[in-house]
Amino acid sequence: MAKRQGMHQTTLRDRVEVSGIGVHSGKPVAMALNPAEADTGIVFHRIDTASGEPIHARIDRLHATDSCTTVALNGVSVSTIEHLLATFNGLGIDNVVVEIDAAEVPMMDGSAAAFVDLVDQTEIVTLSASRRFIKVLKPVRIEHAGGFAELLPAETRRFEIDIDFKSPLIGRQAFVVDLDANVFRRDLARARTFGFLKDVEFYWSRGLALGSSLDNTVVLGDDKVINPEGLRFADEFVRHKTLDAVGDLALAGAPILGAYRSYRGGHMMNAKIVETLLADSDAWTFVEGASVSKRDFQHDQMAVRLPAAAFGPDKS
C-alpha cells in the first residue's frame, strides 16, 4: 500500500496571524488562521464586510481564474488563494477558518514559504474524524488552447506538470512529484510566482498587479531574470506551476488520490479538471471515510456545476 498522509482529519492548535500586501490591489492585508472542527473544511471569513457568510474553498464557490484563483459568495470574494490552499493541501491540513480583512490573500514573497512558516508557529493537531480521500477510478481529461489536463487512477497523490513557454528563459520544463508534507516543504513551497516585464502595463491597465514587485515576483526581461538574487531553483517556473496546481486541486474539498498531469495548464485548467472529475459519478469514489457516501458529498457539501464565466483566460 502506498504511503498516504494521515488517515484522520487535522486542524491547527492555535490561532496564528500574518499581514502583507495584496499583489493585485497593492493594499495591506491582515489575515488569521483559526482552528476548526472536523468537516469544516477550509473556510474564508471576510471580517471587513457586513456579510457573515463563510466562503468555502470549494469548486462550487469558484468565481474566477483569470489571473489568480478566486472564490465568492453573494458578491463577496477572496482572491489569490492558491498558495494558501497549496500550503493546507501540501501539509495535510483539513480544517481552518481564515479571517481576512481584504479581498485577497497577502502575496508575501510570491511563494507558499511564509504560510508554511505561519503554520510552524503553532502545531498541526489530529482530530478524531477520518480523513476522506477522493480516489480517481478512471481517467478524465480536458483540452484547451493546445494544452491539456487529466486525472488518472494512482495510489499516490502524484503531480506531473509540463510547461512550455516561448521565452528562452523558461522554455519547456517538467516536474514530477508524489506529494507529501516533506516533499511540499522541500521542493514546492519556496517556488515563486513569475511574470514578464513586457506584460506589466497590460496588468496595470486592468487594475491588476498593483502590488507586484521584485520582492514577490520573479520578473523576466527580454534576456534575463531581473531579480538580483536570481532563481531559487533552476526549474523554479515549473515548480511554481506545480505549487499552483496543488492549491487549485484543493477545491475538490478533499485530497485527491490519483495522478494529475497537465501540459501548458494553469488556474483555469486546474479548476476545470476538478469540476470534470466530480461531475462524473463513475470517475471517483471516497476512500477511508466509510461512513460518508459519495452521494452525501455531492448533494450536501457542494454543487459541481459552475457558470462558464468562472473560467477566463489564464495569464499567470
- Residue 300 assigned to a binding site: no
CA atoms of 251 and 60, how far apart (whole Å): 8
Distances (CA, A) of 46 to 25, 37, 68, 98: 16, 19, 18, 8
Cell of 187: 521542493
Contacts of 131 (CB under 8 A, 6+ apart): 5, 6, 7, 8, 9, 10, 94, 254, 255, 288, 289
Burial class, 178, CB count within 10 angstroms (exposed 0-12 / middle 13-18 / buried 19+): middle
Of the candidates 275, 236, 239, the residue with the CA atom closest to the CA atom of residue 256: 275
Amino acid at 1: M
State yes or no: is 267 an active-site residue. yes
- Residue 83 assigned to a binding site: yes
Cell of 155: 495510489
In contact, 60 and 72? CB cutoff 8 Å: no
45, 56, 267, 299: which is the annotated catalytic residue?
A: 267
Of the candidates 35, 19, 45, 47, the residue with the CA atom closest to the CA atom of residue 88: 35
DSSP assignment of 271-300 equals HHHHHHHHH-TTSEEEES-TTS-HHHIIII
* DSSP H helical ranges for the chain: 82-91, 113-120, 181-183, 200-205, 236-248, 267-279, 294-296
CA atoms of 191 and 177, how far apart (whole Å): 14
- Residue 63 assigned to a binding site: no
- For the annotated binding site, the residues are 83, 240, 244
**Which residue numbers are catalytic?**
267
- For the annotated binding site for Zn(2+), the residues are 83, 240, 244
